[in-house]
Amino acid sequence: MKPKMLMCSPEYFGVEYVINPWMENQIHHIDRPQAHRQWEAFHRALSQQAEVFVLDPKPDMPDMVFTANAGLLVDGTFVLSRFKHPERQVEEPHFRDWFQHYAGDVAQLPDSIAFEGEGDALPQPGQDWIWAGYGFRTDLAAHRFIEQKVRRPVISLHLINPRFYHLDTCFCPLPDDRAMYYPDAFDADSLRCIESRIAPENRLLVSEEDAGHFACNTARVHDTLFMNHTSPALRRQLEVWGYRVALCPVDEFMKAGGANKCLTLVLDAADRPHTLHSA
C-alpha cells in the first residue's frame, strides 16, 4: 500500500524574516524559479512511491511550504502545532482547517505551550514510542500533552545546537530499530537515552559535513530515502542497510532552514510494523 504524505506548493515560499541561523543573510535571496523546479522534481519523485496530497499555499506565509511543521498525526489523532514564532503562528488556522476535514480529530495545545509538529516529533517505525525534541521550538510540556492525546510514550531529547533547531534536522528514525543522527546536536543525557533504545549496530552517526547538508532531514517511503545530499560513505552505509537513496536537491529551501523531510508530513506511514531486509 502507498503511504500518504502532505506537501504544500511553494508559490509564496521565500525568506522574509529570520527565525533560525540558516535564514541569516538570506532575506530575499531565494531563486524562485529554481526553488519551484526543485520542489516539482522532489514532488514528482515522491509521488512515484507515495500518495501525495498538496495543500494550497497562502500569501504572506513564506514557510508554509514546510508541512512537517503543521502538526503530528498518529492513529487518527492530529495534534496541531502551536508555533513558537508569531511569523509562523498565522499558518495554524490553515493547517487546522485542512486536518479537521482530513482527520476529524484535531487536538489543540494550550496557548502557552509551543510545539512544531513532525519537525520535533518522530515516531520510531515498528515501535509504539515517539521521539520528541525540545530546547528551541517545542516545549517539554508539549511532550506530555502528546503522550496523553495519542496514548504513546514520548521520549524527550534535548537539542542544544541552534543550527539543528528541529529534531528532524538531526535525527532520522528508521525501521528495524535503527536511526541515523548527528550526535553534536544533542546533550549527553539525550545521547544516552538514544543509545539505550538503539543498539550500537543500529546507530548511524552522521558526520558534521553530511549533517550540514541536512542528510538527517530525509523523507522516507518504505526503503527509498529522498535526500538533499549524501557523502559516498553515508550512501554506502545506507545501501548496506538495504536502502535506495533518491537524491532530490533542495538547496533553495535550505536557505530557510529546511530540506526534504521538512517539506513533507506523514499522513499514513502504511508500513508499521515494517521489516527491511539488508542487502
Q: Which of 45, 68, 70, 211 binds ligand ARG (CB under 6 A)?
A: 68
- Per-position b or e across 10-42, b if 16+ CB within 10 A of its CB: bebbbbbebbbebbeebeeebeeeebeebbeeb
- Binding segment for ligand ARG (CB under 6 A), chosen from 47-55, 161-169, 194-202, 230-238, is 161-169
Q: Which of 5, 6, 8, 19 binds ligand ARG (CB under 6 A)?
A: 19
In Å, how far are 86, 125, 174, 176 from 273, measured between CA atoms?
38, 6, 11, 9
Q: Which of 66, 78, 145, 182 binds ligand ARG (CB under 6 A)?
A: 66
Q: What's the rounded Cα separation, in Å, for the pair 197 and 261?
A: 23
**Closest distance of CB 12 from ligand ARG, Å:** 13
Give the cell for residue 30.
531565494
Report cis status (omega within 30 of 0) of the bond before 200.
Answer: no
CA angle 90, 96, 99 (to 5 degrees): 145
Output 88 or 213, the one with its CB closest to ligand ARG: 88
Output 14 or 241, the one with its CB closest to ligand ARG: 14
- Binding segment for ligand ARG (CB under 6 A), chosen from 138-146, 182-190, 234-242, 254-262, is 254-262
Give the cell for residue 65.
511550504
Contacts with ligand ARG, 96-135, as mask; x by CB under 6 A: -----------------------x----------------
Establish if 69 lies at the interface with ligand ARG (CB under 6 A).
yes
Helix, strand, coil % over all residues of the chain, rounded to 5: 35, 25, 45
Q: What's the rounded Cα separation, in Å, for the pair 133 and 228?
A: 22
Output 88 or 222, the one with its CB closest to ligand ARG: 88
Active site residues: 166, 262
By the criterion CB under 6 A, which residues form the site for ligand ARG?
19-20, 23, 63, 66, 68-69, 88, 119, 166, 168-169, 256-258, 262
